[in-house]
Amino acid sequence: MGFTDTRFNVNLSILFTELPLLERPAAARAAGFTAVELWWPWVDAPVPEQAELDALRVALEDAGVQLVGLNFYAGRLPGPDRGALSVPGEESERFRANVPVAIAFATSLGCTTFNALYGNRVEGVDPAEQDELALANLAFAARAVGEVDGTLLIEALNAPESPRCPIVSAPRAIEVIDAVNAATGLDNARFLMDLYHLSMNGEDLDEVIDRYTAKTAHVQIADNPGRGAPGTGELDFDGLIDRLRKAGYDGFIGLEYKPGEGPSAGAFEWLPAPLRAATPTTS
């Protein structure tokens, strides 16, 4: 692969999950990575005990890995992507309670990039009411993130795996991003371009890259079909990443794929070790 000046990070909520949470940062570092991202690790606790937050912070610091992205609370993940911010009642309140906790945790590690999953449609609730609540909660999160000069990410999921999610295309995600920025005036909401989800939706990835890279603050990859490592499916990552670079994207590319049958440490043979560091080689 020819992308020698691309920065890759590994998602510790889908890779290295055969290990306890606190052992994953060191395992990622042993595999050569110096940057990681996470879904919210405490699926039932938007506000976990401080001791749990401290233990994860120490594990990341001791491993010598940089946290570059964190999801806000979204309910039970891994599993079907669901989100919490558009669900009325207790789930919405749990999302809001999580926002300052997640921001405090991430910023203590130098991370100011946060992903907010929109959420699924709920039976018996008017979709317009859900969308109004989601916009209010996204604006709430964007304002909180703005206080630390951070970025709020919004992504499109895929309809086959998340049929009740109302954001299953790049244009729809961009509509929501534009609405959040209009509501806050902060212009800190950006697109999380997940090439796996977009390809599952049948979108033209070259067109998505050309149209939306300017509004993109993070990219995630997995091959399709199967959500495995690059090379296990049909996507041309050499071409896609080269196109991203030519379109002006110079941020991290998150590895958010399933490791396959073996341990996660064996799921990176496609990526030369020098390219796993936060500061890539350019030689």
Are 114 and 141 spatial neighbours (Cβ–Cβ below 8 Å)?
A: yes
Please say if 155 is a catalytic residue: yes
DSSP annotation of 213 reads G
Are 152 and 103 spatial neighbours (Cβ–Cβ below 8 Å)?
A: no
Please say if 256 is a catalytic residue: yes
Tell me the torsion sign for CA atoms 119, 78, 254, 95: positive
Cis status, amide bond into 225, omega within 30 of 0: yes
Q: Point out the catalytic residue in the list 37, 256, 261, 269.
A: 256
Q: Point out the catalytic residue in the list 93, 155, 175, 234.
A: 155
Are 84 and 92 spatial neighbours (Cβ–Cβ below 8 Å)?
A: yes
Q: How many C-beta neighbours within 10 Å does residue 193 have?
A: 28
DSSP annotation of 69 reads E
Q: What are phi and psi of 110, to 5 degrees?
A: 85, 15
Amino acid (1-letter code) at residue 233: G
- Residues carrying an active site annotation: 155, 256
